[in-house]
Amino acid sequence: MKTVQFIKLAGTASLALSLMFTSSSLITVPAHAAEASTSQSKAWGALDVKHKPYTNKGVLFIPLKEVSEQLHLQLTIPGKNELYINSPKQSVRITVGQSRAVNAKGTVLKLEAAPVIKKGVTYVPASLITKGFSIPLKYDSKSGLTTTFGSQGGYAYTAVGNVLFWVNRDYGTLLMGKAGTTPVQVGRLPVENLELLSISAHRINSSTYVADITNDYGEPHIHQERYRVLIQDNKILKDSKTSHSNFAGINYSRDQLSYKGNIAMMNGSTLELVHPTGKTVKTYNLAELTGVDDQFIIEAIEGDFLLVRPYKQATLYVVHPAGSTAKLIYPELLDADSKDMIEEYPSNEVGYYGDGLTYKGYANGKLSFDFKNPFLGKTAKHTYTLPF
């Protein structure tokens, strides 16, 4: 799965379209005051919405998808004209055309009016967001749609189908749960210097998931920590971490997820292949195999080899699957100028590009790579014969 920082839409096509497509602007009238006892002491900030809110019989209607995105609420669609609005602390189910909503505890929330679809855009009463999630909203023609709510931005989030994930930006706590339920805390990551968090998730089986969490920090944000978390039955079984400082601005690949059902967990320079039950099946000491004192990315795992890349030099090594040997690849493939740049240009300066090799596939004992070095203005395709 790809990393998701946007609203997840899955299920009935008609409602998905109503949430995604555009409509014409509607007439606006002054404001609906949101209910929140503490809001008077907070500053109101504007939400940037393309489709303007409108009032009908004194009820303020807001464009659900746009507002949800900016309040970091996730949307999921279980059936025709139904959807869940989800936060780390609550989930509310609504049905287009019905003036009631139901939260995760089964409590019925009476709405001022029913959600409607206008020219492909789903609108809901603003009071739904206030009642369901304690988020104050108001609107007037001068200030637009505004809110005092900001704490929801303390989470990064993603989803796999109807299973939602949230990681707290302040404490590193990880929560998950199905749409329509209240998320539960599955554990806490030992994350330090929390700044720019992102999360992606992957389903392994019905009770097992893997979450990949990235933390970019510093000024500028050149330091990065990568966490991989194995979750079973809503509990963290195992986690791993790598960290590096990307002074050169290299676009590193993501770590491969798994091989033959075993999860690839990269912990510094140690790679473990881990069964979904949490048992380690195979361990590789990559620093010892390559002779490189660094942390690593695992870019590919095949039956005949592994491809690993240390962060600092960013040069690929091919590793025997038994963990008996490793060999640097670029000396056999690249021209003299490209090799000189790898060996002479400081790896911590902008312009350094590593070996510029991207793995494309494997057949008949040969590995295929694309090569690119923008600094030298060179591109090429290479084939590498497996050395063992």
Mean pLDDT across 356-361: 98
Q: Name the average pLDDT for the chain.
A: 89
C-beta separation of 196 from 217 below 8 A: yes
Mean pLDDT across 115-141: 94
* Residue 115 one-letter amino acid: P
Q: What is the pLDDT of residues 263-290, one digit of tens each?
A: 999 999 999 999 999 999 999 999 999 9
Mean pLDDT across 371-378: 96
C-beta separation of 125 from 139 below 8 A: no
Residues 6+ apart with CB under 8 A from 55: 28, 29, 32, 61
Mean pLDDT across 323-342: 98
Confidence of residue 199 (pLDDT cuts 50, 70, 90): very high
pLDDT at 326 over 80: yes
pLDDT at 132 over 70: yes
DSSP category for residue 256: P
Confidence of residue 23 (pLDDT cuts 50, 70, 90): very low
pLDDT at 19 over 70: no
Q: Which CATH architecture has domain 13-149?
A: 2-Layer Sandwich (3.30)
pLDDT at 187 over 50: yes
Residues 318, 328: Cα–Cα separation, whole Å: 7
Half-sphere exposure of 147 (CA within 13 A, CB side): 22
Mean pLDDT across 183-207: 94
Confidence of residue 148 (pLDDT cuts 50, 70, 90): confident
pLDDT at 40 over 60: no
The DSSP bridge pattern shows strands 59-63 and 121-125 to be: antiparallel
Confidence of residue 193 (pLDDT cuts 50, 70, 90): confident
Mean pLDDT across 44-71: 95
Mean pLDDT across 169-191: 94
- For residue 41, what pLDDT is reported? 52
- For residue 211, what pLDDT is reported? 98
Task: Determine phi and psi for 108, rounding to 5 degrees.
Answer: -85, 130
* Residue 113 one-letter amino acid: A
Token pair belonging to 3: 């990393």
C-beta separation of 262 from 273 below 8 A: yes
Highest mean pLDDT among 147-161, 186-200, 327-341: 327-341
DSSP category for residue 329: -
- For residue 153, what pLDDT is reported? 56
pLDDT at 3 over 60: no
Answer yes or no: pTM beyond 0.75: yes
- For residue 89, what pLDDT is reported? 94
Dihedral over alpha carbons 247, 348, 193, 218 (to 10 degrees): -40
Q: What is the pLDDT of residues 203-253, one digit of tens each?
A: 999 999 999 999 999 988 999 999 999 999 999 999 999 999 999 999 999
Q: What is the pLDDT of residues 79-111, one digit of tens each?
A: 888 999 999 999 999 999 999 999 999 999 999
Dihedral over alpha carbons 263, 318, 312, 271 (to 10 degrees): 30
* Residue 72 one-letter amino acid: H
- For residue 387, what pLDDT is reported? 97
The number of residues making up the chain comes to 388
